[in-house]
Amino acid sequence: MAVLMSMLATLGLLLFPLNSAVEVKRPQGVSLSNRHFYDETKPFTCLDGSKTIPFDEVNDDYCDCKDGSDEPGTSACPNGSFHCTNAGHRPRYIPSSRVNDGICDCCDTTDEYNSGASCENTCKEQGRKEKETLQKMAEIAKEGFRLKQQLIEEAKRSREDKQQTLTELQKKKEIWEAQVESLKAVKEAVEKPEQEAKEIHKKAWDEVQAVRKLEKEKAKASETFKELDDNEDGFVSISEVQTHPELDSDGDGVVSEQEAESVLGGVSQVDVSSFQETIWAGIQDKYKSEAVIESLTPPEIPVDEAEDSHSKPQHEEWRKDDHDEDDDGGGEEHDDDDEEDEEEEEDDGGEEDYKDQSAPYFPEKQDTEEDKMPAYDEETQALIDAAEKARNEFSEAEKSLKEVENSIGSLEKELTIDFGADGEFAYMFNQCYEMTTNEYIYKLCPFNKVAQKPKHGGSETSLGLWGSWAGPESNRFSAMKYEHGTGCWQGPSRSTLVKLSCGKETAVLSTSEPSRCEYLMEFSTPAFCQEERDGEGTDHDEL
């Protein structure tokens, strides 16, 4: 077998195709550049220098050299490699183990010279296809590079515009700052008299209210006096006080003579003015107006009617006269108030809550026109209007200043971003590019953020915010890194690496998640196209 292989390998050497005028004779599996190591007239020295063997032991299917260099055309050496010339396409090395293994690896079929595999030489076809692809790529690169020049021009212009805008904004800012300052001074100047005039008005109103309150108190006292003075003799006496059990002080429910006398300040009777001045203040919190007590007393109900009303407390009518659903079990519309009442009922176990009759009861008076502070006088109003105007002008100026400051802030931020060696990537700032997969819509907003949103609804997840250029030293602008996105459950925060390629269009070509919460995007842009260097895109066929 070894002899046969040796003969075939030698045949390979001798019968090397001669149909090409520039074909150079060399042992099977040897590249053109290595052929001078294989001089058939001399013994062969392994390429690592480890051994020298007679030349006829080259390709004899027996591995002599550690580096496998004596068997370039057989599979005898485990670490050897076989060179296919692949005329018409691209030469390549394959591991020796693939020589004569029945599978066509080399497009020129030379790796299968003794396996019986019927290989077809496809080098020309493959070469043609590759040439076409390369040509297309070259065309794209050429067009992309042309576009890139435009982008660079545009970026230059836009940067200059922005710098000019920034200068203008800074001037505007100074003007607004001065304006804000002076409007603030104006505002403060007119707010002072406004405040003073308002205070005067308020004080006068407080005084009026105080007088009214006093009068009301007096009136109430005199009304009470009348109520207490049952015999209308112009005095409230001990016995008259005793008719008001709520004035009981020792809690036995009865106002004793002593207690009544004490209520009257230690005397047996008081006239209206001493009642107003000394007595009323001491009892007004306890006192229950007879008129009110009367209005709270439920009407007498005949016994059978009372039975009909079941457990309904009899005094219910005074409080909930529009709430009688218990009577007939329905038919009445419930309004919102009803519901509130029901809730209350649940709160205290369904018991009707009687008004706490131990508390004083004077119905709360609604605010009337009389209780409202009267409108300001003309002069004060004029001061308020002037101050209001000054406040508005000041806050408008402040707003404008804020707007200018914000514009300056965002312009300055934009001008500090590294948009590539010639600003070629600037055009994609403020743009977003999307790509939809089965599950998500991915969004890349260069120099800003990357996000992911479920296709069928749901909120956006941040896959990172603009971090930095992340290509290797020699090609820094070939990749972008977006970091500090939404935290990954029990993992790091999401981040995305965007790999750039040259293309006529600006588009996200693919998205993937090579490891959980670490995303990868392929992104094409003309800004990444390079000028084609000499010799690029041409054939490198070795003949």
Q: Would you say 151 or 517 has its CB closer to ligand MAN?
A: 517
Cβ nearer to ligand MAN, comparing 49 with 491: 491
3-state SS record for 478-539 = HEEEEECCCECCCCCECEEEEEEEECCCCEEEEEEEEECCEEEEEEEEHHHCCCCCCCCCCC
Applying CB under 6 A, the span of 223-231, 299-307, 395-403, 509-517 interacting with ligand MAN comes to 509-517
Structure-derived torsion over alpha carbons of residues 198, 200, 202, 204, reported in degrees to the nearest 10: -150
Q: Provide, rounded to whole angstroms, the least separation between the CB of residue 490 and ligand MAN.
A: 8
CA gap 306, 140 in Å, rounded: 100
Contact window for ligand MAN (CB under 6 A) among 161-169, 213-221, 285-293, 513-521 = 513-521
Task: Please identify, using beta-carbon distances, which residue of 451 and 479 lies nearer to ligand MAN.
Answer: 451
By CB under 6 A, residue 455 contacts ligand MAN: no
The residue from 46, 47, 432, 488 that contacts ligand MAN (CB under 6 A) is 488
345 neighbors 337 (Cβ within 8 angstroms): no
CA distance 225 to 278: 12
Q: Are 38 and 26 in contact (CB under 8 A)?
A: yes
Q: Which of residues 62-91 bind ligand MAN (CB under 6 A)?
A: none
Which of the stretches 128-136, 259-267, 334-342, 510-518 binds ligand MAN when contact is defined by CB under 6 A? 510-518
- Which of 295, 298, 296 minimizes the C-alpha distance to 306? 298
User: Which sign, positive or negative, has the C-alpha torsion 119, 122, 123, 129?
Assistant: negative
Binding of ligand MAN by 511 (CB under 6 A): no
Closest CB to ligand MAN among residues 52, 461: 461
Annotate 239-255 with three-state secondary structure.
HHHHCCHHHCCCCCCCC
**The tokens of 8 are what?**
């075939």
Number of H helices, E strands in the chain: 12, 14
- Residue number, 129 or 516, with CB nearest to ligand MAN: 516
Task: Find the angle CA(62)-CA(65)-CA(70) to the nearest 5 degrees.
Answer: 65
| Least distance between ligand MAN and beta carbon 479 (Å) | 20
Which of 461, 478, 493, 501 binds ligand MAN (CB under 6 A)? It is 461
- CA triple 192-194-199, angle to 5 deg: 100
Work out whether 517 is an interface residue with ligand MAN (CB under 6 A).
yes
Name the residue nearer to ligand MAN (CB basis): 91 or 464. 464
**Is residue 154 within 8 Å of 527, Cβ to Cβ?**
no
493 lies in the site for ligand MAN, by CB under 6 A: no
What's the closest the beta carbon of residue 185 comes to ligand MAN, in angstroms? 55
Q: Which of 356, 489, 514, 515 binds ligand MAN (CB under 6 A)?
A: 489
Residues 24/91, Cβ–Cβ less than 8 Å? no
Distance CA 260, CA 174 (A): 80
Residue with smaller CB distance to ligand MAN, 32 or 488: 488
451 binds ligand MAN (CB under 6 A): no
Q: Does 42 bind ligand MAN (CB under 6 A)?
A: no
* In the complex, least distance from residue 511 CB atom to ligand MAN, rounded to whole angstroms: 10
Which residues in 238-257 contact ligand MAN (CB under 6 A)? none
Handedness of CA 155, 528, 503, 454 (dihedral sign): negative
386/520 with CB nearer ligand MAN:
520
Terminal Cα distance for the chain, rounded: 31
Q: Which tokens go with 506?
A: 């600006």
Instruction: Read off the tokens for 226.
Output: 């009348």
Near ligand MAN by CB under 6 A, which window of 91-99, 233-241, 353-361, 511-519? 511-519
Nearer to ligand MAN, 30 or 517 (CB): 517
Q: How far is the CB of 1 from ligand MAN (least distance, A)?
A: 56
**Residue 496 binds to ligand MAN (criterion: CB under 6 A):** no
Q: Which is nearer to ligand MAN, 389 or 516 (CB)?
A: 516
Report the nearest approach of ligand MAN to the CB of residue 449 (Å). 14
Closest contact distance (angstroms) between CB of 469 and ligand MAN is: 24
For residue 522, the minimal CB distance to ligand MAN (Å) is 17
Q: Contact with ligand MAN (CB under 6 A): which of 317, 513, 522, 541?
A: 513
| Pairwise CA distance, residues 456 & 380, whole Å | 62
Is residue 516 close enough to count as binding ligand MAN by CB under 6 A? yes
Measured CA to CA, the distance from residue 524 to residue 503 in angstroms comes to: 5
Q: How many residues bind ligand MAN (CB under 6 A)?
A: 7
Tokens 């290509």 correspond to: 471
User: Who's near 409: CB < 8 A, 6+ residues apart?
Assistant: none
Shortest Cβ distance from residue 468 to ligand MAN (Å)?
23
Measuring CA to CA, how many Å separate 152 from each of 147, 454, 532?
Answer: 9, 36, 17
- Applying CB under 6 A, which of residues 452, 462, 495, 525 lies at the interface with ligand MAN? 452
Least Cβ distance, residue 166 to ligand MAN (angstroms): 38
Rounded CA-CA distance 523/511 in Å is: 9
In whole angstroms, how close is the CB of 489 to ligand MAN at the nearest point? 5
- Site residues (vs ligand MAN, CB under 6 A): 452, 461, 488-489, 513, 516-517
